[in-house]
Structure 1
Amino acid sequence: MKPHLLKVPAKPESSITISKVDKFYNQWHFHPEIELIYIHKGRGTRFIGNDVHRFERDELCLVGSNMPHMWRCDPEYFVEGSKLKLDVTVIYFHHDFLGDKFFNIPELKSIDSLLEKAKQGIRITGSTKLQVKELVRKLSGATGLERITTLLSILEKIAFSKEKEYINTIYNPDKIEKSEADRLNSVFQYISDNFQRKITLEEIASVANLSAKAFCRYFKSKTRKTFYNFLLEVKVAHACNLILEKDMSINEVCYDSGFNNLSNFNRYFKKLMNKTPLEFKKEHRVLRE
């Protein structure tokens, strides 16, 4: 595996980097820049710190400095001839992009606090997301001072809004060393490629070049989750996608997501999603109608 400290390309004339992308950097990675990402079109699974969750179009997240993360589109996006398109705006900037002490003044303390809390990963929702969406469009075409003031407006709206969710309440990204990103990426990649079948503890431990016992301690120390709980989240995220996008029975979804019986599938799905697969399916059918 290649090193996964991502070097964000920056232009010398700007302290803010704005990228329009049609494909993700499909590796578990981190970077010192803070990342504001708006997904205009696309769907798949996001990994932020120790959280695994579905993402859909119009997702807005703020990811803090050095927080390991990965966005992965659903398999249908990679099928030859697929007409599915990804449209994403990513904004990168350093916490001190306006100087070491700029955010220390009383009027900007709320933004300073937001940027610190972004190390947990933040998902923005509701009317705040819609307001920020328009500002992101404005920012994409802005230059000079307008670019700075627009970004500050975005951060201020998020800072004062109650429409935000903290993704990792106990996760500390500073505990992920650069040398460990490689190992974690190998593990996550292996899980992503093989979750639909049984993965033994000895098998996944060998991917990390550790004994089974040492791997359990290692994985939990880095993700704050057991391997099996993390694996369940990946399976349930896949199941959510099948329910939303495919005309499949709950039984078919169960086995395609790597569960070996319907009872376990229903129990773990409800534990993670606070509703049964059938309730989830009915709820989203109503929303689509």
Structure 2
Amino acid sequence: MKTDTFNQVEIIENVDDGIYYLEHGWPSDLIRWHAHAPYELHLIVSTHGKVFIGDHIGRYKPGQLILVGPHVPHNWVTNKDEPGPVALRDMVVVFSHKSMDHMLQGFNEIQELMSMFELSHSGVEFVDFDLSLAMDLFGKIRDTSGMDRFLAFMQLLAELKSWPHKRTLSTAKIISPLTTSAANKINEVVQYIADHYQENLSLGKMSAMLNMSESAFSRHFAKSTGNKFVEFVNRVRIGRACIQLAETNDQISAICFDVGFNNITNFNRHFVKLKGKTPGEYRRIIQTNLGKDQSIVKPTIAMP
């Protein structure tokens, strides 16, 4: 069996072209809240727990299949009472916008996948997709290379495109156009934000990381993520606050400062703007729903 394995950093930084496969069990160092420029198709094979996609929080179980778009923070956290360790929890296929852009430019037939890629900017779940079929399709990508891997990948995309039951997950949509190379330049900053959202993240500090002027950095960042720098940081912080509101009984004021906001009024204003409800209202809804083994986001999208 031929398997491509690489660590978290390689997924984020080194996927410029091609189709990559990885798998891991639980526990694993790869299980953490993170974001990256490539697209990620993520299949859960075993265990139960919570899934976090942008500002979405829900339950996961074996068979859950989600396409995560560029720069959308995500993680799957296994229940602490789950028997373990588990040899195989996740099967993952990673591919870049650059690869997709080349295909979209070269083949008109690929254009019909665009609607699915658009949904991925909020995270899109393929509801009740058959687990055995998914494992078979992912396994073909794992066990092949070259043209055979490409054909197996296209077969997987075709199955997903035709799947009638799709639902978007995060209300905080992050847009990253396929045709720009700016995403690769900004990716280091996106990952830094995901890892250091609690800190003072100034435009000057981030632009200096890339040796760019603030104005050039702002243009590239907005083009790559679809958000102004400050808006993106606030989205990441609110997404993290949603996790803490669901997972803990910490006071809302404590969560506000823990995720990087410097005052409760500012935190509440941004929370209501993104979620349409106060942090307290959100906590009551999400904890009630998760207690019933449900997800707070339920819309299903039927696509032709």
User: What TM-score, normalized to structure 2?
Assistant: 0.62
Q: Name the counterpart of 2:6.
A: none
Whether the aligned pair in 1 keeps the contact of 2:222 and 2:229 (CA below 8 Å) is yes
Distance in 2, Cα, partners of 1:279 & 1:8:
44
Identify which of structures 1 and 2 has the higher relative contact order when contacts are C-alpha pairs closer than 8 Å and 6+ apart.
2
Q: Return the match for 2:36 from 28, 31, 40.
A: 28
SS of 1:193 mapped into structure 2: helix
1:175 aligns with 2:175: no
Aligned partner of 1:130 in structure 2 is: 128
State the Cα distance separating 1:92 from its structure 2 match: 6.1
Indicate conservation of the 8 Å contact 1:120/1:166, yes or no.
no
1:62 counterpart residue number = 67
Report the equivalent of 1:107: none
Choose the corresponding residue for 1:37, options 31, 34, 42: 42
- The answer for unaligned runs of 5 or more in structure 1 is 11-16, 47-51, 78-82, 105-111
Query: In the TM superposition, what is the alpha-carbon distance from 1:115 to its structure 2 partner?
Result: 2.6
State the distance in 1 between where 2:180 and 2:17 align. 21
Identity of aligned residues (%): 23
Q: Does 2:4 match 1:6? A: no
User: Contact 2:70/2:176 (CA < 8 Å) preserved in 1?
Assistant: no
Partner of 2:299: none
Query: Which residues in structure 2 correspond to 1:1-289 (within 5 Å)?
Result: 4-6=13-15, 19-22=22-25, 23=30, 28-30=36-38, 35-39=40-44, 52-54=54-56, 57=60, 60-62=65-67, 68-69=70-71, 73=75, 87-91=89-93, 104=109, 112-120=110-118, 122=120, 123-125=123-125, 128-139=126-137, 152=155, 155-156=158-159, 158-159=161-162, 161=164, 163-165=166-168, 171-176=176-181, 181=184, 183-287=185-289, 288-289=291-292
- Deviation for aligned residue 1:21: 2.5
Verify the 8 A CA contact 1:42 1:73 in the aligned structure 2: no
Say if 1:139 and 1:253 are closer, same or farther in 2 by CA, change over 3 A.
same
TM-aligned CA deviation for residue 212 of structure 1: 2.3
Unpaired runs of at least 5, structure 2: 1-8, 79-83, 293-304
SS in 2 for 1:175: coil
Q: Indicate how the Cα distance of structure 1 residues 9 and 191 shifts in structure 2: closer, same or farther if over 3 A, else same.
A: closer
- Work out the CA distance in 2 between the residues paired with 1:154 and 1:211: 39
CA pair 9-175 structure 1, distance change in 2 beyond 3 A:
closer
Give me the CA root mean square deviation.
Answer: 4.4
CA distance in 2, matches of 1:157, 1:221: 28
